[in-house]
Structure 1
Amino acid sequence: MAHNSSPGVSAKKLTVFTLAIMNIVAVVSLRGLPAEAEYGLSSVFYYIFAAVVFLIPVSLVAAELATGWPEKGGVFRWVGEAFGPRWAFLAMFMLFIEVSVWFPTALTFGAVSLAFVGPDQTWDQALSSNKLFVLIVVLVIYWLATFIAFRGVDAFSKVSKWGGMIGTLIPAAVLIVLGFSYLFSGQPIHIELKWDDVLPDFTNFSNIVLAASIFLFYGGMEMNAIHVKELDNASKSYPVAIAVASIGTVAIFVFGTLAIGFIIPQSDINLTQSLLVAYYDLFKWAGLGFLAPFTAICLAIGVLAGIVTWVAGPSSGLLTVAKAGYLPRFWQHTNKHDMATHIMLFQAGIVSVLSVLFVVMPSVQAAYQILSQLTVILYLVMYLLMFAAAIHLRFTQPNRPRPYSVPGGKGGMYLVAGIGLFGSMIAFIFSFIPPAQIAIGSPTTFVFILIALTILFIILPFIIYACRKPHWKDEHADFAPFTWEIEDTQPGIPNESDTHTTHLTERHFQWLHKKRAENQVEIKGDQA
């Protein structure tokens, strides 16, 4: 999950290749490659399996939802149309909390990258393992990113766009080229390259625990789904763009993971350090050792650019939901740059508390792993709701105009979203199991912390929803009513009428024009 913003697109129409690159940049992150390098050649199986049962279903389903229900709200809108605002609030809250939990793990990687800019690798590794150093870097950079985000989108949009290129795509290409040059030069490698090793040993249960984290790698493809409307002949072009993006994403992950495995023995792999060590060793082998610190800086830039972007992203989504009447007025506060400062400060508090886990856990690696698995769990709750909503809406709103539809009619949707539901549920269950390959201290404590935090974060949005008050709603909010609100029915009730759908669309446009006149601002209905 790269969590980079989508590059701005000035042209009215997108090419298939452009959208594919946008999706690759949005999804790909090199941070998690060492975790999968633990598996050697069998990591190829996990990457392809997760792409088939998660990456592709997310891409296709999100495109239908984003184009069929383009009004503001994103996943809150989609789940709310199907199951009502209570479950929609849970989905939105999961996205917000998941990103909050993700920040310390991503920043840990950033801190490790910064530790490796020195000339002495032994000293660098010792510094990157120092819990106090990691904690200080995580807190300083996150709070700095928050204050930068306070200044609005213009303050960091260019940094984010170029940071994704400098910190992800270029280092990925360098890693793959160096790694396979090392392989083809005849050097001894630390992976057995036999076809028999591609299929994992399913009798060893611990082999499939760390693999669940691959689902998090593929998170984020839904971000660019709204751009499907900017393609010519979207029903044919979009699946091609997704195929290209999926193949490109899987290729970067597979070849990047193998490149690490070529040069670092499995027993020496460290989740937070091994990517940097691999660069260092490969550059040293190529006689280009002086370039290793520059790569570390590039990776740190990529992480920090993504952090700054995502400090503001889900916070803005939660702000939209808050103004629709689902959070108290205190959380709806914005500064002169229209940024949700109170929500962002609350998020910074969560990140700070979670970062202290790096001090109380037995190692940086253990804290990194528990937060990574919690991120997967919370993110998958949102995806489970999204897949279920897509299936439900094909049944309850069959005649809703959908500029892009999952191919194959209702059967196609049930198959694609059903596969996504199945894959997400399997990964969700496995994410509660402590990995055998990593020293995490007490497995019982590890599982207890995971379960306790998951229950807390799932119950919290239901409590907030139950406490909502009429005066929370901002009368100037530009959040369009749900379909069932306009039709004065309950969510999830089937409606087969073609006139209903046409009438609904006109009513939504009437509502948007009314709000535009009231607020004297342009309200774009095509922004999820």
Structure 2
Amino acid sequence: MVSGGPYGIEDILGGAGYLKALAILIFLPFVWSFPTALMIGELASAIPDEGGFYVWVRRALGPFWGYQEAWLSLTASIFDMAIYPTIFVLYLSKLFPAWTAGPRGTLWELALIALCCLWNLRGAPAVGEGSIALFVALLAPFAVLVGAAVWHGWHLHVNSAWTSVPSGGEGLSTAILVALWNYMGWDNASTVAKEVDNPQRNYPRAMLLSAGVVALSYVVPIAAVGFAGMAIAQFTTGSWTDAATTLAGPWLGIAIVLGGTITGLGMFNALMMSYARVPMVMAEDGLLPSALARRNSKGVPWVALLVCATAWALALQFSFERLISIDLMLYGASLILEFIALVVLRFREPNLARPFRAGSLAMAIAIGVMPTALIAYAAFSARDERMGHMPALLFGFLIALAGPVFYRISRSVWSGRPLQKELQPASSGD
């Protein structure tokens, strides 16, 4: 639920050049991905409840902050989830430009959302198995691309493009923001913990292993096309198609395009499964309408699924870069709450069984420092972004500020009935 392969990282290369792009992609996992994976590994193994990050923050900091965690995550999802249909249509337009021109592009995006709704209604196992198959399918063309790039650079003795740099200085900041976005989302899988076999054992291992695999899936293709001497000029979202066509011919370009559509489909499908569980658990807690807790025979919260899908469809009008800026700000705030929850639970529940620990107490505190600094940088970098006539920072701040207001409304409107879940600590052990 973090990576759709190398699709979406083109703006990193176009904005920073080869050497800086590789440095960013190699460095960020150590200060962004791995600290987050350690935090999630501990919390998911200790509290493997449906609702994931919402439940962790609620348990550590109380219902108010749990609600804010859910609010920030769900509002961030509105912008995050609009990105994947955008990528789907962008790559589809490479093959069939007439199909995606004008309003037709929006129809394709809506069709993707509808398809993923139907897929999700079949249950988490169907989504999980399908996601694995889609990930393999989208990476296969890149394996060929890497091979072709290495052969091209080795046998044709082309000049490498390592030292080429883009014109202008604004691209580096964009490159860092896009890299942060491509490396975020590790906590999304936590919301379906009860639908995973042995989450105490599997979550920590999956988090740490995936962080390394994702980094390799980004670094290797960029290093390969740099070795082949591909120019960075006009390298932007969708440019893998042009690189593949140049290195191996139109057939590989078509394969890359198909992989790009698979990325949009696969990521949207998997994240839909994750996000829909949050309003379901909130409804069970008496903070949202009880209808959102309704499940079908497969255990899928189908009402929450449809409500979320409608909200995501409404954000399809925004551009890729603008979506990333708002997404990072809101998601970043929710991530900071998760790091705080990690530390608070060490104090409040020292005897909570933790099959996996993110090191000592000092380590648990330290791993949150760099992600927090990067989130602050992302917010600062978005200072010139605008949402319509409003500065993006102000827009994000107003969304976050609405969280406490909606919490009061939720408590007064839907909390007349007792909670279906008691917020009692789990059985303790080491």
Structure 2 letter corresponding to 1:33: I
Correspondences of 1:302-451 after superposition (within 5 Å): 302-357=263-318, 367-407=319-359, 409-430=360-381, 432-434=382-384, 448=390, 450-451=392-393
Residue correspondences, number: 419
Contact 1:71-1:480 within 8 A present in 2 as well: no
Residues 1:228 and 1:429: Cα distance change in structure 2 (over 3 Å): farther
Deviations for 1:356-415, whole angstroms, at most 9, x for unmatched residues? 33xxxxxxxxx11111222222221111111122122223333322221112x2122122
Residue 319 of structure 1 deviates from its aligned partner by 0.3
With structure 2 as the length reference, what TM-score do the two structures score? Answer: 0.85
Aligned to 1:216: 181
Matched, 1:145 2:116: yes
Aligned to 2:52: 74
Larger Rg: 1
CA distance in 2, matches of 1:376, 1:91: 14
Residues 1:161 and 1:395: Cα distance change in structure 2 (over 3 Å): same
Deviations for 1:487-523, whole angstroms, at most 9, x for unmatched residues? xxxxxxxxxxxxxxxxx627x9xxxxxxxxxxxxxxx
Residues 1:301 and 1:338: Cα distance change in structure 2 (over 3 Å): same
Contact 2:77-2:312 within 8 A present in 1 as well: no
Contact 2:127-2:273 within 8 A present in 1 as well: no
Aligned to 1:173: 143
CA distance in 1, matches of 2:127, 2:207: 28
User: Structure 1 residue aligned with 2:31, among 53, 61, 74?
Assistant: 53
For the residue of structure 1 that corresponds to 2:285, the secondary structure is helix
CA distance in 2, matches of 1:321, 1:293: 43
Residue 102 of structure 1 deviates from its aligned partner by 1.8
Residue 316 of structure 1 deviates from its aligned partner by 1.7
Matched, 1:33 2:3: no
Matched, 1:161 2:126: no
Residue 143 of structure 1 deviates from its aligned partner by 2.3
Aligned to 2:232: 266
Aligned to 2:255: 294
With structure 1 as the length reference, what TM-score do the two structures score? Answer: 0.70
Residues 1:316 and 1:211: Cα distance change in structure 2 (over 3 Å): same
**What residue ranges of structure 1 are gaps of 5+ in the alignment?**
4-25, 119-123, 358-366, 435-442, 484-503, 509-528
Contact 2:131-2:266 within 8 A present in 1 as well: yes
Structure 1 letter corresponding to 2:232: Q
CA distance in 1, matches of 2:30, 2:358: 15
Correspondences of 1:102-251 after superposition (within 5 Å): 102-117=80-95, 124=97, 130-153=101-124, 156-167=127-138, 169-186=139-156, 188=158, 191-193=161-163, 204=169, 207-223=172-188, 229-230=200-201, 245-251=210-216
Deviations for 1:21-58, whole angstroms, at most 9, x for unmatched residues? xxxxx545322221111212111221123111110100
For the residue of structure 2 that corresponds to 1:355, the secondary structure is coil
Aligned to 2:402: 460
CA distance in 1, matches of 2:222, 2:390: 31
RMSD: 3.3
Residues 1:171 and 1:462: Cα distance change in structure 2 (over 3 Å): farther
Residues 1:459 and 1:445: Cα distance change in structure 2 (over 3 Å): closer
CA distance in 2, matches of 1:208, 1:351: 27
Contact 2:79-2:315 within 8 A present in 1 as well: yes
Structure 1 letter corresponding to 2:5: S
Residue 92 of structure 1 deviates from its aligned partner by 1.9
Structure 1 letter corresponding to 2:154: F
Contact 1:94-1:381 within 8 A present in 2 as well: yes
For the residue of structure 1 that corresponds to 2:233, the secondary structure is helix
